[in-house]
A and B are shown apart, each in its own frame.
Chain A
Amino acid sequence: MDASILNSSLYSTYTKFNKEYGKNNDQEGLLQVKEALIRYMRDNDANYFTKTNNARGMLVANIAREELATYLSEYFVQLSKKDYLKDFDELILGFQVLGTTNQLAINQIRDCLLGRIDSFSSVSCDKVADIVCDVYNRIEMRQIAEDEKKLARRTQINVSPRYGVRNLQVNSQLVNYCREEVLSGKQIAIQNDLRRSNSHVRPRREYNLNDEMIAVTDIGQKRKTQQDSVLMLYHPKNPNYKFLVVADGMGGSVDGDKASQEITRQMVEWFETLNPDMMLEVNNSRLRYEWDRKLNEINDYILSTTPNSGSTFVGAIVGEESTTIASIGDSRCYALGYDGELYQMTTDDNIDFLKYKAKWDNYRSAVGGRLSEYHLRLMKRDKDDLRFRRDANKILKCIGANTEGPVGTTFNRLNNSSYKALMLFSDGVTDCLSDTKLLAITRDTLSKDLARRIVDEAITVKSVRPDLVGSSEYYSEIAAGKDNTSAVIYNKRNDMGER
């Protein structure tokens, strides 16, 4: 039997029935493929294969049911001898296979798939069909998907230097270049090279995962090197779980870039090996505990290797029902609510911000929680003043920079249903753009362009407060692009699958 014809028609069905093409969620596709195989073998019904791309026609014309059932049984029997089986049911069936001769096992599994007998040893035929097709799917369909990613990656490596190719997708399987560049150290190195060589290409990296998570990190206009790092990931076992990070290496510290790179690199490994059960609501305390522990481990590592380097950190983990946000320093996370307002979900670890927060929290308590329009405007003005403070960048907490003892991670949590987008920024954005300006840009821009537009505004538009001219405590101007500038944005889909 020609396996390439089988795989081609199966893969066509697999990609059609995934919820969103290009999204890293293969459950719908795998279920459909399994059902298609079982129905074809059991009932001679090929209608479960997709009509698109002639998958149905290819299968029926080229592969007889008996041939297919024999092939899949041989496949399973071979795998059971090679230790490829994973879960409990597969192992039980594999054990039964090992207890008999190969040919007998193949014949009996084949007969189960064709509905000729009721069971194979102690396993019912329905279960046999389920397991055998699941195993085939898992290995072959996912292998094809992996191959596509590898193909795009290898092609891009070859063609990128000559044509500056980015975001190469082959058959809509997208490589996570943000992840790749964090692990290889290229994210910062590429930008520094571009700045050093005075290239006409902007010293910036942009990443896009299915228009769902988008990150832009730019050196800015004034700095010689990039010390920000950004990260966005899907959990490898469940793409509904996501991870976003911004780490801002401290410019005043030596090797700030080393600290932010180390943080993002270790966060990749930590998140991808997290048990997906940690994303369940019942385990939220445990998640925070593990996350804080990991950040402290990274702090210890930095202390022992590059003790003078330091970085802020802000991260968001989108779990099953809620999103957990962790922060150290003055990088921020905002949530865009369904009311169209932006809410800062983190507290800057900076004396002036803490005073501002305490003042307005106290006032709000004193007036029973509701501020008048006048006081809301005053509060916004107070907050905007913070950007212009002369010592605005002095933070009380960070990772590294000789921080002994606990780093003091601050956590916050919000229900997934309460926001439509999450935005993480380094202070290169929030020093240059007021909350009012951020909101205006958000309202005016398509979600897939938002990260880029925010970074573009921050590096091109200066802020001016003529009322602060002559003040000893405040600057009256903030230069455009005065710092490294980074934004990572997560855009949720609504129930219709739209953003």
Chain B
Amino acid sequence: MKKVMTLIDEENHSDKYEIFCSFDSDMTGRSYVIYTGYYENDKGQLVLNAGYYEQIDEDTLKINRNLTHEENQMISDIMKNIFEQAEKMDKEKKEQKKNED
């Protein structure tokens, strides 16, 4: 999947977004994408959106953001895992650098 894709939502609005993460799930039989348009909320945090998608062509996805509670839970778990792993990897790198120095 490309890093920047055109996403068409349920109301047929289309715009370009940067894809943060995508995956398929055997549990639901669907493919999901997590993306950002680089908007920030009131707290200055980057807003990420998620939906399941159908790929129209190489540059375009048709997405549906109406997710079940289970799907939202799954996406939340996956995102949490990504950040946890990123933190772990950061720590490992710092340890490694310390040992090299």
Contacts and interface: CB of A to CB of B under 8 A. Distances in A.
Interface of A: 15, 20-22, 53, 82, 147, 150-151, 154-156, 158-159, 162-172, 201, 211, 448, 498-499
8 contacts: A150-B89, A154-B89, A159-B81, A163-B26, A163-B77, A166-B24, A166-B26, A170-B82
Contacts of A499: 58
A163 B27 contact: yes
With most chain B CB atoms within 10 A of its CB, the pick from A155, A162, A448 is: A155
Interface string B41-67: 000000000000001001000000000
A201 B85 CA distance: 28
Nearest 5 CB-CB pairings of A with B: A164-B26, A21-B3, A21-B2, A168-B23, A172-B3
Contact of A163 (B78, B82, B85, B89): B78
Contact of A22 (B1, B25, B27, B82): B1
Contacts of B4: 21
A156 B26 CA distance: 13
A210 B100 CA distance: 36
A169 B82 contact: no
A154 B45 CA distance: 25
Interface residues of B, number: 27
Q: Residue among A20, A151, A499 with the most chain B CB within 10 A? A: A151
Contact of B3 (A15, A162, A165, A168): A15
A165 B24 contact: yes
A429 B22 CA distance: 30
A21 B26 CA distance: 26
A165 B89 contact: no
Nearest to A164: B26
Interface string B66-89: 000000001001100110011011
Given A154-B89, A168-B78, 6 more contacts: A147-B89, A162-B77, A163-B25, A166-B24, A172-B3, A211-B58
B8 interface: no
B27 A169 contact: no
Contact of A167 (B24, B55, B58, B88): B24
**Which has the most chain B C-beta neighbours within 10 Å: A22, A154, A172?**
A172
For the residues of A in contact with B, the DSSP-based class is mixed
Nearest to B93: A147
Contact of A155 (B2, B24, B58, B78): B78
Interface in B4-26: 4, 18-26
A14 to B, nearest CB: 11
A72 B95 CA distance: 22
Nearest to A199: B26
A156 to B, nearest CB: 8
Nearest to B34: A170
A77 to B, nearest CB: 14
A167 B26 CA distance: 11
A151 B89 contact: yes
Nearest to A172: B3
A167 B22 contact: yes
A171 B20 contact: yes
A100 B35 CA distance: 50
A165 B89 CA distance: 21
Nearest to A499: B58
A169 B85 contact: no
B85 A151 contact: yes
B21 A158 contact: no
Nearest to B26: A164
Q: Which of B3, B20, B89 has the most CB of A within 10 A?
A: B3
Given A147-B89, A155-B85, A171-B3, A163 B19 contact: no
A201 B29 CA distance: 10
Contacts of B21: 168-171
A158 B38 CA distance: 28
A420 B100 CA distance: 49
Contact of B81 (A147, A158, A171, A498): A158
Nearest to A201: B26
A128 B95 CA distance: 31
A288 B96 CA distance: 42
Contacts of B81: 155, 158-159
A151 B78 contact: no
B77 A151 contact: no
A159 B84 CA distance: 12
B1 A165 contact: no
Contacts of B3: 15, 21-22, 171-172
B23 to A, nearest CB: 4
A167 B23 contact: yes
Contact of B23 (A15, A166, A498): A166
A26 to B, nearest CB: 13
Contact of A169 (B1, B18, B74): B1
